[in-house]
Amino acid sequence: MAKEIERKYLVLGDSWRGLAEGSVYRQGYIATQDKVAVRIRVVGKKSYLTIKGPSIKYSRLEFEYPIPVEDAQEMLETLCERPFIEKVRYKIEWRGLIWEIDEFDGVNKGLILAEVELSDENQQIELPTWIGQEVSDDARYFNSNLVKHPFSQW
């Protein structure tokens, strides 16, 4: 069983820029219901099928499997809800943790979020200076919800 423990924050300013190269992500959701999401993601020449369970505090079940890029592209075009999630992800190592900064594009342009995966829900972390308000408990910021209620429409 795979358990993801993650906290999510708004990003402040631009001081994080230049700390990492970004990768373009394109993802879509085949299904989202009862707080369970089935996602297809393409990152460069790699692609994944991911199933995520409901969030309980900062944790949820997550199962992710590599799939052929051709299959992922076909699923995105024929099975996934619109709009897609389009973003550039930057991975920055800071004080022993990997922070993933997502700079959204498309209908979510202007939104920049940082996520950090933890080994324990009670793990104490020191926040980088570019980290702002925590939004881990705000479902509006879940990628699966940004498809249905894009940032540009808030």
Catalytic annotation present for 65: no
- Residue range of the domain that includes 21: 3-153
String of DSSP letters for 5-41: EEEEEEE-SSTTTTSS-EEEEEEEEEEEETTEEEEEE
> What averages of pLDDT result for each successive group of 10 residues across the chain (154 residues)?
90 96 97 92 97 91 97 98 97 97 98 96 94 96 95 96
Here the CATH number for the domain that contains residue 37 is 2.40.320.10
Which residue do the tokens 């993650």 mark?
6
Catalytic residue among 29, 58, 90, 141: 29
Distance (Å, rounded) from C-alpha 41 to C-alpha 90? 16
Q: Looking at the 3D structure of the chain, how many domains does it have?
A: 1
Cα distance between residue 26 and residue 143, in whole Å: 11
Question: What is the model's pTM?
Answer: 0.94
Residue pLDDT, tens place only, 10-49:
999 999 999 999 999 999 999 998 889 999 999 999 999 9
For 19, residues 6+ apart whose C-beta sits below 8 A from its C-beta are: 90, 92
11: Cα separation from own chain's centroid: 14
